[in-house]
Structures are given as structure tokens and as C-alpha cells.
């Protein structure tokens, strides 16, 4: 049993997430994983659980938040790989 790095709970069904930079995280729930790892919308400050949108290096939960910010809406794109 591992300890969740967010809430400190010891849980027999905890899981690990390995990030691209080689970091390893242990959580007892997706809720804790989202709290720790999900990006934050630069406009409304909510956690971005879906794809979100990126504009000129800025990250938003949706096109509406991008348009409400000072970042130009004509450059909105899905936050997906271009390769």
C-alpha cells in the first residue's frame, strides 16, 4: 500500500503516474491526480481536465476563456500534438 502524495491516504488500490520528465507520482484517486497534475486555465483558474486550448503559449480550458483573455481568439487551436 502506497501513500497518496496529495491527501496522505494509505490505500490498497493506489496507482502511479509517470510524467514525460521522468517524475513519478503516487495517488489514491483520479481526483488527487487531477488536483496535482492538471494544468490551470489562465483565465478562470479551473483545472483543465479535457484537451483545453492553447494560444501563443497560453493555456485555457475553452475557447470562451481564451476570447475573454487578452490573447487573440483567431489563433485558438486544440492542445494536441502537431506531429
Does residue 10 carry a pLDDT above 90? yes
SS3 64: helix
Cα–Cα separations (whole angstroms), residue 60 to 4, 44, 73, 75: 27, 8, 11, 12
pTM: 0.73
Cα separation, 13 vs 41, in Å, equals 30
pLDDT for residue 80: 56
- 19-78 per-position pLDDT tens digit: 999 999 999 999 999 999 999 999 999 999 988 888 888 899 988 888 888 765 566 655
Amino acid at each position: 500500500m502506497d501513500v497518496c502524495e496529495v491527501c496522505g491516504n494509505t490505500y490498497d488500490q493506489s496507482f502511479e503516474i509517470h510524467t514525460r520528465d521522468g517524475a513519478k507520482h503516487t495517488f489514491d484517486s483520479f481526483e488527487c491526480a487531477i488536483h496535482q497534475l492538471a494544468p490551470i486555465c489562465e483565465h478562470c483558474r479551473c483545472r483543465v481536465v479535457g484537451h483545453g486550448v492553447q494560444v501563443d503559449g497560453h493555456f485555457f480550458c475553452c475557447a470562451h476563456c481564451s476570447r475573454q483573455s487578452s490573447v487573440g481568439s483567431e489563433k485558438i487551436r486544440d492542445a494536441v500534438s502537431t506531429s
